[in-house]
Amino acid sequence: MEEEFYSIIKLTSGEEILSLVSVDENDGDPLVVLQNPITMKMIQTSQGIHIKVKPWIELSSDDFFIIKHDKIITMTETKDKRLIDIYNDYIEDDNSQEFYNPPSSGKVKPSSRMGYISSVEDARKSLENSFKLKYPKES
């Protein structure tokens, strides 16, 4: 197996992927070995340009994939530090989350980090107490 390099690959399916790649010369039939391949999409919004990154095969737990050379239109080695950093950051972040447990109901519970301070009932009681302290009833 040859040494690894970062590559952008255009497949015959039309997909473009970025991956750490090595080529295995298997009896004259080269196989391309992809390590943690991802897709990247440029999204332009009013806040600027963003890059959406996701795994090439989303539900797989494998890190390595093998592609025959006849499924590749073209591939180019990239030395673009920005792309390589995005790739490595994504792979490190993805690997740090060993398991993903989606919420069962699909709802997210608000937290103080989201700006949630108290329930309506607690806020009402707090305001009533403040009002009573400031304006006590006259007997």
CATH-assigned architecture of domain 5-96: Roll (2.30)
Largest CA distance in the chain: 101
pLDDT tens, residue by residue, 18-57: 999 998 887 777 889 999 999 988 888 888 888 888 999 9
pTM of the model: 0.62
Residue 85 is which amino acid?
A: D
Contact call for residues 94 and 25 (beta carbons, < 8 A): no
Q: In the chain, where are the structural domains located?
A: 5-96
Tokens at 81, concatenated: 């530090």
Instruction: Give the Cβ contact number of residue 22 at 10 Å.
Output: 17
- Neighbouring residues of 17: CB distance < 8 A, sequence distance ≥ 6: 8, 9, 11, 34, 37, 38, 39, 56
